[in-house]
Amino acid sequence: MLNYRHLYYFWMVSKEGGFARAAERLDMAIQTISVQVRELEKSLGHQLLKPEGRGVALTEAGRVAFARAEGIFQIGEALPEAVRDAASRRVVRLAVGLSDGISKLAAHALLGPVLDTPDLRLICHEGEFEQLQTELALHRLDLVLTGQAAPSNPNLRLSCDRLLSSPVVWYGPAYLVGQDMMDSFPQSIERLPVLLPTGHSALRSGLDHWFNDLGLKPQVVGEFEDSALMSLFAARGLGVFPVSRRGADDLARSSGLALLGECENVVEEIYAIRNRRGEQHPLVQQILARAAA
């Protein structure tokens, strides 16, 4: 291990240009500082300082060591102030669980009202519905956003509200979604590569019923648990995909995707589940109030 006290004495000698001035600055004996610097040179295996006139100069190895020491001790000088700032700042922590399959764009829109909270520390966990319920019951999460309502279980003491019921629309790469595809939607779905959420998603069930009702047989080329990942693959040209209209307004501008059409009678629902502690969390209250407005 590097002895940082030895490094500090070397740094001071280098900055002051000699042992005598460094000793005066540190209020120490010249011999003591000299011994410490020699110990550093011994541990590194190279001479760092050489005599020059009445003082000392850096060797080539010494220049490298001094440059690193300069960075180390500048950080050290800034550390007390950084610690004081961190200790005096009141961090606002919000831990949110996002269940697999829900639209991450819609989730982002629902969390939007609190994202500019000063000193916010937002922690997002993604997982399966049952796992997130357990984390919530153990008070590791303040809020869970999920595509299904919480089952009645008096032992868990959870509250549940529907925050969102949004129509589902289809987007795809602009070069695939031409005017003829838009005009013939939804039948044009059969002529396009299709990306879908995986089977355990609440939205997938509604889409499957929609396909059956219209007699459509889509060419499914990919299934995704993560809706954000699905939109990314769509933007890279893999196919068209369904997404909640809430939060999807910027898709065409941000990723070169074009609107194909809207599913009639298919909606994505997002529920907010929280425990008793979450009920009292000011940011959770703000999210619920904005969604209800």
Query: Which of the four pLDDT bands, split at 50, 70 and 90, describes residue 250?
Result: low
User: Which CATH number goes with the domain that contains 191?
Assistant: 3.40.190.10
Residue 133: pLDDT above 90? no
pTM recorded for the entire structure = 0.63
Are residues 121 and 80 both part of a single domain? no
Are residues 172 and 247 both part of a single domain? yes
Are residues 236 and 279 both part of a single domain? no
Of 38, 71, 88, the domain-final residue = 88
Are residues 237 and 154 both part of a single domain? no
Token readout for 254 is 């941000």
Residue 253: pLDDT above 70? no
Are residues 210 and 277 both part of a single domain? no
Of 88, 118, 143, the domain-final residue = 88
Are residues 38 and 57 both part of a single domain? yes
User: Burial level of 212, CB count in 10 A (0-12/13-18/19+)?
Assistant: exposed
Q: In what order do the strands lie in the sheet with 257-274?
A: 120-127, 92-99, 143-146, 257-274, 159-173, 241-244
For residue 156, give its domain range. Answer: 92-163+271-292
Tens-place pLDDT, residues 220-241: 999 998 888 898 899 899 999 9
Total number of domains constituting the chain: 3
pLDDT at residue 116, rounded to an integer: 92
Are residues 288 and 229 both part of a single domain? no
Tens-place pLDDT, residues 62-82: 999 999 999 898 888 888 887
- Taken in order 168, 174, 176, 178, is the CA torsion positive or negative? positive
pLDDT at residue 225, rounded to an integer: 84
**Spatial contact of 263 and 169, defined as CB atoms under 8 Å apart:** yes
Query: Which of the four pLDDT bands, split at 50, 70 and 90, describes residue 101?
Result: confident
Which region among 143-152, 157-166, 223-232, 252-261 has the lowest average model confidence (pLDDT)? 252-261
Are residues 27 and 52 both part of a single domain? yes
User: Which CATH number goes with the domain that contains 12?
Assistant: 1.10.10.10
High-pLDDT (> 70) share of the chain, %: 96
Residue 130 and residue 235: Cα distance in Å, rounded?
31
